[in-house]
Amino acid sequence: MQVSPFGYGKVLYLKLNTGEIAVYGHLQRFAPKIETRIKRLQKKLGRYSVKAFFSPNQIPVRQGEVVAYSGRTGIGAPHLHFELRDKNNNPFNPLLKYASFRDRIPPTVTGLAVIPFGRKSQVEGEPLPKVFSVEHRRGNRYFVRQPIQVWGNFGLAVTGFDRTARIHNKCSFYQIRLKVDGKPIFRTEYNFFSFDQTREIVFDRNFRLNRWVKKHYNNLFLVPPNHLPFYNPGTPGTGIFTTVPEFLANYSNSGSPQGHGILPFFTTRVKQEVTGFTKLFAGRHRFEITAKDFSGNAAVLTGELRVGRKSVSPVNGIRLKDSVFIQKAAHSLSVKKIFMDDFVLIRLKTKRPALRKLHLIYNTRFRTVFTNLIQTGLNRFEATISLDSIAGAFTLLSIQGDSGKMRFPIDFIRVFKIDSKNEREIPISRDGTQIRFLKNAAYQPVYFRFEKLPLRRALRSIPGDSITYLLKLAPTDIPLRRGAVLSVHVPQNEDRIKQLAIYASSRNKWHFQGNRFDPERRTLEVPLRDFGEFTILRDTAPPVILRLVPHPGEWVDSVRPLIRADFKDNLSGIADEESIRLTLDGQKCIAEYDPEMNRITYKPDTPLRPGRHKATLQITDRSANAATKSWSFFIRKK
């Protein structure tokens, strides 16, 4: 058994006679014979959070016996968290233990995504992921109306949900199958996994699309280093398609099974030896995605892939490659950079027509590169640049017309390649601010970039008092493994160090990240598993204690009254239960802390005597700001 304000809250681990383990989390309370032992342990240790292990037969229970009551302790809305784990403590699908599960409601499919790999791949003419809406035909049938143009290497992903009778919760699919031209390509089935693999879920659900469109898309392909046991076949590369022009129809790698193999233009995203991907020849191919729940109810999504490179098309009767433009200064252009795994897409938009074609000029570590800008509209151009070619360089982007007489700087790029084989420190500022990437920081090579900006450039308004600049660290759409350590310099004239901390902007709010101070380097340090916006903020405001129960001066009839206090802290927040101290008549109380409700509760174990009783509450936030409130209430004499 375990009790904590966080995570599962009050949780019970029950070992079955099969050796398997049943887990019940977010409980309100345990059965009396269990609750008594927990309270005894809490009193002995003097704290609310405890963990207890019992030997076999120490607390025996039988089938049908009440062992606990559901509640809302820990993190999350009120619900019962139920798990079944095998003898090795690995979770598996609890429905596998049920002979029948009544459910006639099929899953719902809400979207399709196509994900290209590499700058030479295309989805609707672009090397970027594309999301497509689906239409509901009738019954359990869905379709994508338009054929989808693809070229190069790509995979599919699908999003949706499942419901069961009488329950409004949205669940995930149990099984997903992908077929192309009637041939089975990929299957996902969620039966079991190991907690050691939990972090790898970022490869099962598309991490980038989750960051871009805030939805969970199930990848229908397998890339290293995903070792989750959900997939069939489980060969790296399974579900990834690579397109083949007609003149290479007879191409086949030696030793490649069933026409699968590694084609010459496979990208750095999956450079490892993968043999499971599927060749698609130029032309049209029909795909079918079937999403099932555990009872076998199915939803079927169909559509068409049109394999072929998208060529330049006419605009208003003028072929894009022949049209001409004029721009006499860089200010007449807008520039947008879209960073992907190993390349950046540069998009330019001009304000008015002009006389000459445009070329992009940029420098790598060793040379200057001239490349033609692809014209995608009357006033739109684009080009891609390999990040590996410019990593470590200060790359200036310029444009130039055909005449070569004038060249205009338009932007710059600076990226650092993190290969994860060794630790690496990257200085961010001369004041000592830096980031240190740990060994095995990421699952793949990462091209790190940063910006030092004035605070007014923050995406969200900054509360409190900031003593430094805004740091924007990227990429934010590639998952990290061990991550990095960010160190931000604290100016010499700052002496109230305890009130300072590094904060990150997320979900329309600034969140406390850490306040570990290195006095020798005068830096605040925090470990990072995600990038984004960061700054140092000073928190000088103490928590505010709000509603008190019983109310000050109140007379109550119960001799074991519920004592409750609500509070709030607007910046650094409350770290844990050790930051909250409640005493009753001078004696420390083991109170229950609810971090989501910003509330503590306590009920005396023994009756209180009639008359006056004094309670004192002290709350300290992470920045050492403290608030104290004392009040009295009265017990009526019966």
pLDDT, tens digit, 9 for 90 and up, residues 583-613: 999 999 999 999 999 999 999 999 999 999 9
Do 498 and 423 fall within a single domain?
A: yes
Residue at a domain's end among 516, 538, 560: 538
> Which tens digits make up the pLDDT trace of 204-232?
999 999 999 999 999 999 988 899 999 98
Tell me, yes or no, whether 97 lies in a domain. no
Which contacts qualify for 264-267: CB closer than 8 Å, 24 or more apart?
265/118, 265/120, 265/152, 265/153, 266/118, 266/153, 266/242, 267/117, 267/118, 267/119, 267/120, 267/121, 267/153, 267/342
Confidence of residue 325 (pLDDT cuts 50, 70, 90): very low
Tell me, yes or no, whether 101 lies in a domain. no
134's CB contacts (< 8 A; 6+ apart) are 109, 110, 111, 112, 142, 143, 144, 301
pLDDT, residue 322, reads 43
Strands (E), 343-469: 343-350, 358-363, 368-372, 374-377, 380-386, 395-401, 407-413, 416-418, 424-427, 434-437, 446-453, 465-466
Confidence of residue 277 (pLDDT cuts 50, 70, 90): confident
Under 8 Å between Cβ of 223 and 240? yes
Tell me, yes or no, whether 102 lies in a domain. no
Q: What are the strands of the beta sheet with 12-15, ordered from one edge? A: 12-15, 21-25, 81-85, 91-92
Say yes or no to pLDDT of 76 above 80: yes
Say yes or no to pLDDT of 460 above 90: no
Confidence of residue 350 (pLDDT cuts 50, 70, 90): confident
Do 403 and 484 fall within a single domain?
A: no
Do 562 and 448 fall within a single domain?
A: no
Cα–Cα distance for residue pair 22/102, rounded to 1 Å: 22
Say yes or no to pLDDT of 362 above 50: yes
Domain range enclosing 592:
544-635
Tell me, yes or no, whether 98 lies in a domain. no
Cα–Cα distance for residue pair 77/26, rounded to 1 Å: 9
Higher pLDDT among residues 181 and 330, named by residue: 181
Kindly state the tokens that stand for 15: 């070992």
pLDDT-wise least confident of 83-97, 257-271, 574-588? 257-271
Listing DSSP states for 124-141 in one string gives TTBSS-EEEE-EE-STTE
pLDDT, residue 318, reads 45
Higher pLDDT among residues 144 and 359, named by residue: 144
Do 163 and 270 fall within a single domain?
A: yes
Kindly state the tokens that stand for 207: 């991490």
| Other CB atoms within 10 A of residue 240 CB | 27
Under 8 Å between Cβ of 505 and 513? no
Do 512 and 399 fall within a single domain?
A: no
Cα–Cα distance for residue pair 180/281, rounded to 1 Å: 12
Do 390 and 427 fall within a single domain?
A: no
Helix (H, G, I), strand (E, B) or coil at 348: strand
CATH number, domain of 355, equals 2.60.40.10
Mean pLDDT confidence for 566-576: 96
Cα–Cα distance for residue pair 345/280, rounded to 1 Å: 26
Mean pLDDT confidence for 183-208: 95
Do 332 and 389 fall within a single domain?
A: yes
| Other CB atoms within 10 A of residue 62 CB | 6
Do 438 and 551 fall within a single domain?
A: no
Residue at a domain's end among 518, 538, 558: 538
Tell me, yes or no, whether 336 lies in a domain. yes
Say yes or no to pLDDT of 355 above 80: no
> Which tens digits make up the pLDDT trace of 17-74?
999 999 999 999 999 999 999 999 999 999 999 999 998 889 999 999 999 999 999 9
pLDDT, residue 423, reads 94
Tell me, yes or no, whether 163 lies in a domain. yes
CATH number, domain of 465, equals 2.60.220.30
CATH number, domain of 82, equals 2.70.70.10
Confidence of residue 441 (pLDDT cuts 50, 70, 90): very high
- Reported as half-sphere exposure (CB side, CA atoms, 13 A), residue 175 has a value of 14
pLDDT, residue 219, reads 98
Residue at a domain's end among 281, 307, 333: 307
pLDDT, residue 457, reads 78
Tell me, yes or no, whether 372 lies in a domain. yes
pTM listed for this prediction: 0.89
Do 11 and 131 fall within a single domain?
A: no
Helix (H, G, I), strand (E, B) or coil at 516: strand
Confidence of residue 329 (pLDDT cuts 50, 70, 90): very low
Higher pLDDT among residues 631 and 264, named by residue: 631
Say yes or no to pLDDT of 92 above 90: yes
Do 431 and 514 fall within a single domain?
A: yes
Quote the longest CA-to-CA distance of the chain: 101
Higher pLDDT among residues 315 and 357, named by residue: 357
Say yes or no to pLDDT of 269 above 50: no
Say yes or no to pLDDT of 579 above 90: yes
Say yes or no to pLDDT of 262 above 50: no
Tell me, yes or no, whether 96 lies in a domain. no
- The total of structural domains in the chain comes to 5
Do 190 and 297 fall within a single domain?
A: yes
Confidence of residue 426 (pLDDT cuts 50, 70, 90): very high
Across the chain, mean pLDDT equals 90
Listing DSSP states for 223-250 in one string gives -TT---TTEES--TTTT-EEEE-GGGTT
Do 216 and 301 fall within a single domain?
A: yes
Under 8 Å between Cβ of 216 and 160? no
Mean pLDDT confidence for 124-139: 95
pLDDT, residue 247, reads 58
Confidence of residue 248 (pLDDT cuts 50, 70, 90): low
pLDDT, residue 312, reads 57
Kindly state the tokens that stand for 196: 């050691």
| Other CB atoms within 10 A of residue 441 CB | 24
